[in-house]
Amino acid sequence: MTTAVQKLERRLGYHFNDAALLSQALTHRSVGHLNNERLEFLGDALVNFVVADALFRAKAKAEEGALSRLRASLVREETLARLARELDLSDALTLGESELKSGGFRRDSILADAFEAMLGAVYLDGGFAAARDVCERLFAALLADLPDADALKDAKTRLQEWLQARGRPLPRYEVIEESGPPHRRRFHVRASLSDAETVAAAHGSSRRSAEQDAARALLQALQSAHE
């Protein structure tokens, strides 16, 4: 009989000497004291380093800021959860009663944490070279098809750079209105320019996110007026 864990090892391309390590990596804290939280701490640092190293080599001309943005896009929870799903990692997860009932095996955070813990376990079981090999294999498709590092900049930065490149003054952000109770505050923010009529506004649950959305809308308006 082939268990879910054995299938996972096959998809990983790595066979554990110490099966208990993999099993612990797949055990969510809802199960009890022996869980994957410590391995996740180790695996998170490992994945960060291996991805940094792979990007450093793949992008020999990229500046530090571009490397940082690319790495953030590769190691964020959503991306790690996607890689975990490609491995059908959830079939091999061990969850406590409460998480089983609420569908925890589908949750991004649980999948991403187990993914990191699993790589931490490979490192403990087989050493750095083995862990780097597995990690690079899992990230291979993403590393081969990296997004444009500029597109990963946040909207306020992109708007600022667009304006600076044209010698224009920086935008101004104002909170037009705050509403809602303290725990569910809503911010209405306007982005405007001192040298043009174009304005854009956006709502958000934080000032920061509303400013980003307003900047994005303003940049789109400016770019389409420029075409």
Catalytic residues: 44, 116
Reduce the DSSP state of residue 36 to 3 states and report it: coil
Closer residue to a second copy (CB): 37 or 91:
37
Shortest Å, Cβ 216 to a second copy: 24
Residues for the chain: how many in total? 227
Report, in Å, the least distance between residue 60 CB and a second copy: 9
Which is nearer to a second copy, 64 or 145 (by Cβ)?
A: 64
Rounded-to-integer distance, Cα 9 and Cα 4, Å: 9
- Structure tokens that stand for 8 in this block: 């996972």
Nearer to a second copy, 41 or 162 (CB): 41
The least CB distance from residue 65 to a second copy, in Å, is 8
For residue 51, the minimal CB distance to a second copy (Å) is 8
**Cβ proximity of 14 and 134 under 8 Å:** yes
Q: Which is nearer to a second copy, 45 or 140 (CB)?
A: 45
- Report yes or no: 219 and 151 within 8 Å, Cβ to Cβ: no
Supply the DSSP string of 147-188, one letter for each residue.
Answer: PPGGGGS-HHHHHHHHHHHTTPPPPEEEEEEEES-GGG-EEE
Name the residues that contact a second copy, by CB under 8 A: 37-38, 40-42, 44-46, 48-49, 52-53, 56, 62-64, 67-68, 123, 128-129, 132
